[in-house]
Amino acid sequence: MQKVNRDVLLEKAAAMLDAGEVQAVLGWGAGEFAYDVTPRVFETSDELRADFVWNDFCGANLSKYLVSKTKKLEGKLLVFLKPCDTYSFNQLLTEHRFEREKVYAVAVPCEGMADVQKLKALAGDGISSIESTDSGFSVTTIYDDAPVEVKGADVLLEKCANCKSRKHVAYDELLGDEGEVLDSNRFDEVERIEAMTSEERFAFWQGELSRCIRCNACRDVCPACTCEKCVFDNPNSGAENKAPTTSFEEQMFHVIRAFHVAGRCTDCGECSRVCPQNIPLHLLNRKFIKDINTFYGEYQAGAEEGSRAPLVDYTLEDLEAEDVFKKEAE
Amino acid sequence: MNTVNDTLIPVLGVITDVRIDTPDVKTFRVVTPDGKKAFDHKPGQCAMLSIPGVGEAMFSITSSPTNTEFMEFSIKKCGCVTDWLHQAEAGQQITIRGPYGRPFPVDTEFKGKDLLFIAGGIGLAPLRSVINYCRDNRADYGTIDIVYGSRSMDDLVDYKEIVDEWTKDTDVHVHLTIDREQQGWDGHVGFVPSYVKELGFDTNKTAIICGPPIMIKFTLDAMIELGFDKTQVYTTMELRMKCGVGKCGRCNIGAKYVCKDGPVFRCDELDELPDEY
Amino acid sequence: MRKCSLSKLTDLFQKINESASLYLPATDNAGGAVYTKWADGVEYLDVLNTVRSPKDFFFPQSENLMEFKLKGKNIEILDIREESEDFVIFGVRACDVKSFEVLDRVFLSEPVDSYYQNRRAHAVIISMACMRPADTCFCTAFGIDAAEPAGDVSAWKTECDLYLKANTEKGAQLLAKLSNLTEECDDSEVSPLQEKIRNIMKKLPLEGISLENFGKGKTKEYFDSPLWTELSEACLGCGTCTFVCPTCQCYDIKDFDTGSGVIRYRCWDSCMYSDFTKMAHGNSRNTQVERFRQRFMHKLVYYPENNDGLFSCVGCGRCLSKCPISMNIVKVMKALGGEKK
């Protein structure tokens, strides 16, 4: 259950809209069910009151929308950002993807967001209502069964189960209390894969990536993927492939993407959240983050606006290639 | 299984002749490897040409169905497939499949009518098929007027055929124009839509327009101004196509597929479709 | 109607598999289900939706159409089509069975797509009634009865038994082969199940969806609606909805240079993609608003206009659960006025 109430966010946004301090509000809009929430731009306080949502299903990271939405507006856009979203926000600013002065960033503390798929696996597919309880959710279904009590911790989104930080690293205003950078266990799974033999590792990724349907959702949702024209969409690039024609193509796509966002990925976890095939794509990115930490010292993309990522920076202390091999040998 | 024909599987074609029409338009003559026409078609229909490894693209068949020996395609250099074709020489094999689309109603609505063809630039290519078909079946049609314009004298497609053949026909009136004055040109200068208005045709004619979208739009406006009804005006469309038979899903305008319900549309039919072309 | 104890399910699968390859939903080891070729040890997973719909069987995500050998100026065209083997698909939900009819209208209309037809002709469909439909289900709006699924054979599953009913000659032939494992029973034995299913269907949250305002002749009414901008606002332009959709059938044809020749293949395409309508000299759908509109207009207006009122949606709910931003056909329909009065 989120500590800051929907009304706190709503009143903040409505007041600023009504006062003309912002032109629009980028938030989460209500859907058909308690859990399906759609990113939405609200232009009036009436719209906000009717459809604005802040609940345990607001997993979507809104920061990437700032790139396109700020371009359409003359005035300021208010955006709500969870702690993890603020890292993306900073990274986009570092890459000059939108104009800071066109945004009013409202930071919201987050207790972790729920994964509907996990919830349905425990409570059933036919959900008719979801009530928040102290420890999680009480779910009623259409099957005449008794309500199912589900622990919040059991249905967290993958990105929240391994949350790296509850600290907001950028905002104009913070609603509620500031959190801390967490001592995260996010590299545990990476370490497990690193411990595999190369054959096991290849088999692991082949198994995962063979499910890929090349829908491009991971790329399209990724705040680090903001190229105006992606190489994979360019018919003249020779790399445009809408279908995974061979396993080689599948592996190329995700590996190229992981390389492209290396050092820029804030580990927001959106790629894995949106994957219709539940491929743990975030693990590829985390491997890069972990390696960068190991080879160049701790670095978290997005933690600080304007920071120089080790991969695009040069210091005299940088490791040389042979040192990397030495280090790996150890 | 292998005996069932599938329209997606092409037949072989051989380019037997390449004619340079303009700086960016070439006309390719195509027959099957045994020297025959690949298939019969009707005026206004299209064919899918491809060079394996480069791609496949839809082109209107420029030659008339009355030509029983070969097919011709006048192709402007503007993309992958066309770039490749432009460097091809006689003897090059390609693949061909078709014919696709709804043709011009030459045997029904056009019969006995005075015809007015209006083309801009490469837009003459699809019209050449129907113009020559009508010339070859001269008795079936009334007078034929052809208004054709291009950027310059050098950009007039089929200029030689126009001058050597079309202008010599009785009851065929050719009106050429180019966008800007040019040395060696003593004909009309100006854009097609205004030339059409200047010429001021009788409104009992059936008109066929083809050219860049903007030219079609302004010419249609000019026709309406002259008193033509949209039911008297035909045009032919082009959108991205892959299958040619209304299945791959991309060339639709509303519920109509350009590849199968078009490419020929009567202008009043277009009014019924959403504005997405 | 035939009946078989669930304890004999493996024997049943074994028997079917003797004469034709059997495919059924099984775990994808990632929380979802995928149609899997049955072999000893493969367990049937009684889920509602597989992530990928069974359209894959007839219209796979990518398939080779033909090959070319190039030598100098010469080309050789190789017809690589082969007769499909017979196969049986078990556990197809009523919505997905209906989707085959939607696909048939496209691929089996003249000129027939021989690649699709080949596989379609060799398949036997065993459908499965939905005992526990999901909140995202809205098949009833399309006149689909989850309690009486179509297909060559309809199946119902209880805690202990599997009921099978042949609907076609193909289905009867298959059931005849299974006669030693099944026993005759009265059709009425599944009636209580059907009643139970239909009662749940009435409680579906999306029960209120109506198609009254969609179909033929509605192009002008909806095409210029200002709602498209708002509805498509958060759309990422990814292809998830189109790829998980059992009725989306748009495809691309591309060439692949193998080094020793060229393979021409067909693959799924998505109207959501920016290059779907891109030509050398322009694009008829330049923005995501237009691309988004195309998808829903196609399903709700254009397709029914060309196919005697049949809609190109079967209410399976895959797009509802898989869209990264939770925008979907139900929200579009409701916004445009598709709710029962």
- The nearest alpha carbon in chain C to A277 belongs to C51
Check CB contact under 8 Å for C52 and A213: yes
Check CB contact under 8 Å for C250 and B250: yes
One domain for residues A56 and A163: yes
Task: Report pLDDT for C279.
Answer: 81
One domain for residues B55 and B157: no
Contacts with B242 from chain C: Cβ below 8 Å: 251-253, 269
One domain for residues B123 and B88: no
For chain B, which chains pass the contact test of at least 3 CB pairs under 8 Å? C
- Find the CATH number of the domain harbouring B196: 3.40.50.80
Cβ atoms of B208 and B234 within 8 Å: the answer is yes
The answer to whether position B175 is within a domain reads: yes
Alpha helices of chain C — where are they, by DSSP H?
9-19, 94-107, 114-121, 169-177, 191-202, 219-223, 227-231, 240-244, 288-297, 303-306, 318-322, 329-336
Cβ atoms of B247 and B237 within 8 Å: the answer is no
Give one DSSP letter per residue of C79-115, joined into a string.
E---PPPPEEEEEEEHHHHHHHHHHHHHHSSSSP-HH
At a CB cut-off of 8 Å and minimum separation 6, what does A228 contact? none
Cβ atoms of B234 and B209 within 8 Å: the answer is yes
Nearest partner of A64 among A181, A180, A227, A178, judged by Cα? A227
One domain for residues B231 and B122: yes
For B222-245, what is each residue's pLDDT tens digit?
A: 999 999 999 999 999 888 889 999
Percent of the residues in chain C that have a pLDDT greater than 70, as a whole number: 99
Last residue of a domain, one of B52, B68, B100: B100
The answer to whether position A182 is within a domain reads: no
One domain for residues B56 and B94: yes
One domain for residues B70 and B151: no
One domain for residues A93 and A19: yes
Residue of B28, B242, B271 to mutate when probing chain C, most C C-beta within 10 A: B242
One domain for residues A144 and A161: no
Contacts with B10 from chain C: Cβ below 8 Å: 77
The answer to whether position B222 is within a domain reads: yes
- The nearest alpha carbon in chain B to C216 belongs to B255
The answer on pLDDT for C60 being more than 80 is: yes
At a CB cut-off of 8 Å and minimum separation 6, what does A69 contact? A24, A26, A41, A77
The answer to whether position B229 is within a domain reads: yes
Q: State the Cα–Cα distance between residues C314 and C54, nearest whole angstrom.
A: 13
The answer to whether position A46 is within a domain reads: yes
The count of domains in chain A is 3
The answer on pLDDT for C283 being more than 90 is: no
Task: Report pLDDT for B87.
Answer: 95
Check CB contact under 8 Å for A243 and C28: no
One domain for residues B91 and B121: no
The answer to whether position A232 is within a domain reads: yes
The answer to whether position A183 is within a domain reads: no
Check CB contact under 8 Å for B248 and C253: yes
For chain A, which chains pass the contact test of at least 3 CB pairs under 8 Å? C
Per the structure, the complete domain to which residue A223 belongs is given by 188-329
The answer to whether position A226 is within a domain reads: yes
Cβ atoms of B211 and B120 within 8 Å: the answer is yes
One domain for residues B127 and B166: yes
One domain for residues A35 and A164: yes
Going through chain A in order, the beta strands assigned E by DSSP cover: 24-29, 38-42, 52-53, 77-81, 103-107, 127-132, 136-141, 148-151, 173-174
Task: Report pLDDT for C229.
Answer: 93
The answer to whether position A179 is within a domain reads: no
The count of domains in chain B is 2
- The nearest alpha carbon in chain B to C225 belongs to B274
Contacts with B82 from chain C: Cβ below 8 Å: 280
Q: CB contact, 8 Å: B3 with chain C? A: no
Cβ atoms of C38 and C17 within 8 Å: the answer is yes
One domain for residues A107 and A136: no
User: Residues 147 to 186 of B: which have CB under 8 A from any C CB?
Assistant: none
For residue B3, name the pLDDT band (cuts at 50, 70, 90): low
- The nearest alpha carbon in chain B to C80 belongs to B2
Beta bridge partners of C254: C265
The answer to whether position B255 is within a domain reads: no
Interface pTM (ipTM) of the complex? 0.92
One domain for residues B193 and B83: no
One domain for residues B228 and B136: yes
Q: CB contact, 8 Å: B239 with chain C? A: yes
For the record, the structure tokens of B163 come out as 């001058």
One domain for residues A48 and A133: no
One domain for residues B127 and B209: yes
For C117-167, what is each residue's pLDDT tens digit?
A: 999 999 999 999 999 999 999 999 999 999 999 999 999 999 999 999 999
Per the structure, the complete domain to which residue B74 belongs is given by 11-100
The answer on pLDDT for B1 being more than 70 is: no
Task: Report pLDDT for A247.
Answer: 63
Give the residue carrying structure tokens 């038994």.
Answer: C161
Nearest partner of B14 among B117, B118, B92, judged by Cα? B92
The answer to whether position A181 is within a domain reads: no
Which amino acid is it at B257?
Y
Contacts with B260 from chain C: Cβ below 8 Å: none
Contacts with C237 from chain A: Cβ below 8 Å: 220
pLDDT in tens, chain A (330 residues): 799 999 999 999 999 999 999 999 999 999 989 899 999 999 999 999 999 999 999 999 999 999 999 999 999 999 999 999 999 999 999 999 999 999 999 999 999 999 999 999 999 999 999 998 988 999 999 987 899 999 999 999 999 999 999 999 999 999 999 999 998 889 999 999 999 999 999 999 988 998 998 899 999 999 999 988 888 888 777 666 666 556 666 678 899 899 999 999 999 999 999 999 999 999 999 999 999 999 888 999 999 999 988 888 888 877 777 777 777 676
Give the residue carrying structure tokens 């301090």.
Answer: A21
Check CB contact under 8 Å for C204 and A142: yes
Q: Measured in whole angstroms, how far is the alpha carbon of residue C250 from the centre of its chain?
A: 13
Give the residue carrying structure tokens 């829908």.
Answer: A215
The answer to whether position A203 is within a domain reads: yes
One domain for residues A133 and A45: no
For C169-179, what is each residue's pLDDT tens digit?
A: 999 999 999 99
For the record, the structure tokens of B157 come out as 């497609």
Give the residue carrying structure tokens 């709910």.
Answer: C317
Beta bridge partners of B73: B28
The answer to whether position B70 is within a domain reads: yes
Contacts with C298 from chain B: Cβ below 8 Å: 249, 252
One domain for residues A305 and A214: yes
One domain for residues A196 and A309: yes
Q: For chain B, what is the mean pLDDT?
A: 92
- Find the CATH number of the domain harbouring B37: 2.40.30.10
Q: CB contact, 8 Å: B83 with chain C? A: no
One domain for residues A297 and A240: yes
Residue of C107, C114, C273, C281 to mutate when probing chain B, most B C-beta within 10 A: C114
Residue of B3, B92, B93 to mutate when probing chain C, most C C-beta within 10 A: B93
Q: State the Cα–Cα distance between residues A100 and A77, nearest whole angstrom.
A: 10
Nearest partner of B176 among B146, B200, B205, B198, judged by Cα? B146
- The nearest alpha carbon in chain C to B52 belongs to C262
One domain for residues B60 and B32: yes
The beta-carbon neighbor of C237 closest among A38, A220, A244 is A220
The answer to whether position B208 is within a domain reads: yes
The answer to whether position B227 is within a domain reads: yes
Interface contacts B/C by beta carbons within 8 Å: 131
The answer to whether position B275 is within a domain reads: no
Check CB contact under 8 Å for B247 and C249: yes
One domain for residues A251 and A325: yes
Beta bridge partners of A79: A26, A105
One domain for residues A167 and A222: no
- The nearest alpha carbon in chain B to C287 belongs to B276
Check CB contact under 8 Å for C324 and A120: no
